[in-house]
Amino acid sequence: MKKILLINGPNLNRLGKREPAHYGTATLDDLETELKKSAQSMDSELVCFQSNHEGEIIDKLHWAEDQNMDGIIMNPGAFTHYSYAIRDAVAGIDVPLIEVHISNIHARESFRHVSVIAPAAAGQIAGLGVHGYELALQALLKIIKGRV
C-alpha cells in the first residue's frame, strides 16, 4: 500500500466559502473524503494536512520524507508565487510531489502566473477544479511505480 500525503496551504480551509467562482463549492472536508476513497480504491493510504503557516508546511514536507511517504500532492495556495523556503524544502526531499491548483493560475492575475515551486515538483496540474487532485493522485501513483 502506497502512502500519499496531501498538503493544502493557506486559505484552503475556506474552500466552499471563499470565492466560489474560482474555487467551487466543495469544502476541504468534501475534497479530502472523496480523495481518501479514491486512494483506497487504488490501494493507497492518504494522509491529509492543511496549514495557513509556511513553517508548518515545511515541517510537514520534511516529515513526509522522515516517515517514508511514497508521494505528496500539494496545493501551496499563494505560497506558490513567492515561497522559496517551501520550494527549497520540496527540492531537499526525496519524495515525488505534484503541485495542484483548483483554478488556472496562468489565466488569472499576472502575479499568479509564476510558480517558484513547480521547477522542484514532478509536475503541476492547474485549472481543473477539485478533479485536479484525483488526476494528481493517479499521476503520482504512476510516477511511484515508474510508469511515467
Q: Is residue 84 flagged as an active site residue? A: no
Catalytic residue among 23, 62, 81, 113: 23
Q: Is residue 82 flagged as an active site residue? A: no
DSSP structure string for 1-51: -EEEEEEE-TTGGGTTTS-HHHH-S--HHHHHHHHHHHHHHTTEEEEEEE-
Catalytic residue among 53, 82, 101, 133: 101
Dihedral of alpha carbons 113, 103, 109, 8, sign: negative
Grid coordinates given for 134: 484525483
Helices 28-41 and 131-144: crossing angle in degrees, nearest 10, is 30
Residues tagged active-site: 23, 101
